[in-house]
Amino acid sequence: MRNEIYVSREVKGLGFRNAAALIKKAVNRALDAEKIDAPCIVSVLLTDDEGIREMNRQFRDTDRSTDVLSFPLNELQPGDFDADICEKDPGTGSVMLGDILINIPQCAVQGEEFGHGFDRELTYLTVHSVLHLLGYDHTDEGEMKKQMRRREKEIMGDE
C-alpha cells in the first residue's frame, strides 16, 4: 500500500527542514496503527500563527491561533474505517482523508515547553490530526475524548 502524503509550506523561513519527513512517517504510523488497508491521501500545510489564525477564523469562526487544525473529508466512526463510504481520488482510487494545518512556530514552542522537543511534538500533532481525519474527536470530556487520548498514547508508544 502506498499512501500519498503531500506536505507544503504556506510561509517561507519556518525552518525545521526535517518536518516533511517526520510528518510522512507519523501519518503512515497512525494509519498503520488504525489498520487502514486502503491507500490514502493526506494533505498537510505548514504555516505560522497568522496563517492558522486566519484559517481558524474562516472555517471554524474562532478568531485565535492554535497549534493544529484538521479538516476531514469523510464522516467516519473512530476505529471503524470504511473505505467504501469515503471520498476517493478519481484517478487513483485512493481514499482522500482530508487536510491538516500545522503551526510550526507553535509546535516548536510546545515541544520546548513540554520538554520533549520539536520532533516529538510534530509527530504527536500529526498523529492527533490523522485521528481526527479518521473520526476521532475530543470535543467533550466523555468517552470519545478518552478513546482518542488512549489511541494517541498507543500510537506514540506512551503505553
pLDDT in tens, 39-84: 999 999 999 999 999 999 999 999 999 999 999 999 999 999 999 9
pLDDT score at 148: 92
| Domain CATH for 63 | 3.40.390.30
Measured in degrees and rounded to the nearest 5, phi and psi for residue 96 equal -90, 110
CB atoms within 10 A of CB 158: 10
Residue 159 located in a structural domain: no
Residue 112 located in a structural domain: yes
Judge whether residue 154 has pLDDT over 80: yes
Q: Rounded to an integer, what distance in angstroms lies between the CA atom of residue 7 and that of residue 46?
A: 7
- The amino acid that residue 153 corresponds to is K
Q: Tell me the pLDDT of the chain averaged across its residues.
A: 94
pLDDT score at 141: 67
Q: Rounded to an integer, what distance in angstroms lies between the CA atom of residue 70 and that of residue 44?
A: 9
Residue 39 located in a structural domain: yes
- The whole-model pTM stands at 0.94
Residue 44 located in a structural domain: yes
Residue 53 located in a structural domain: yes
pLDDT score at 1: 57
Judge whether residue 159 has pLDDT over 60: no
Residue 46 located in a structural domain: yes
Left (φ > 0), alpha (ψ -120 to 50) or beta: where does 78 sit?
Answer: beta
Residue 85 located in a structural domain: yes
Domain membership of residue 40 as a residue range? 4-154
Specify the number of domains making up the chain.
1
Residues 94-113 pLDDT 10s:
999 999 999 999 999 999 99
List C-alpha distances in Å: 106 to 74, 125, 146.
27, 11, 24
